Structure 1
Amino acid sequence: MKNLEQQRAQHAFGKSRDLKRQDVNKLPALILGNGLLAATAFATDGDLRKGMANAMNAIADHLAKSKLIDSKTASEMLKELAEKDSLHLRLATEEALAYLVYLKRFAKQGKDDEAGSET
């Protein structure tokens, strides 16, 4: 049986194939500063942030597989978490941040990323 860290890493490794690190780098700060709901709304607003939206979809899928939510897309996650109590939202936020550590590490480094950056 895999522990929670292994589950996060395995899921993030699979989802990171389609993501660039620049799409994931700003999400932890957005979530900490504005909350998971606001960060999800920002990331999924329009085509300009398509990479961020894909990262949020990966988070939603992970949270669904962790049985914290039923939704598997970011827009559905936003609607579902807006209707839940604050404890449920806090648990989902904590798990999303823990998952992002792996997603950020496994995402491909793009040409816009700093060379040799460890963040």
Structure 2
Amino acid sequence: MFGYWDPLYFIIVFIIGLILAYLLNLWAKKSGMGTREVGEGTKIFISGEDPEKVIPGFEHLEGYYTGRNTMWGLVNGVKKFFATLKNDHTGLLPDYVSYLLMTTAFILVILLLRG
């Protein structure tokens, strides 16, 4: 079973996936809030971000989405981790090579001990 691949099954599953995606799209359009898709005043809305609003510090991204609101939970959840990494970030290549060598040595020691 694991070494056998039948293209017919793949095509059938692919077509079923397309049909399900189409039905999901129809359902989403029907149950949506009535957003206009064309015309004056149409604007993309993603997590409260307005692409026309200039965000301080992101002036170079005017008209683009920064993901600031979308990624808030991830960024807030790993803030301490990134602060620790930022403190250790020197920008010197020998430091990164030493980290790579230490990680490789650690993995090799684990492999040798565990067999």
Short-chain TM bin: under 0.3
Higher relative contact order (Cα pairs below 8 Å, separated by 6+ residues): 1
Q: What TM-score results when the alignment is normalised by the length of structure 2?
A: 0.20
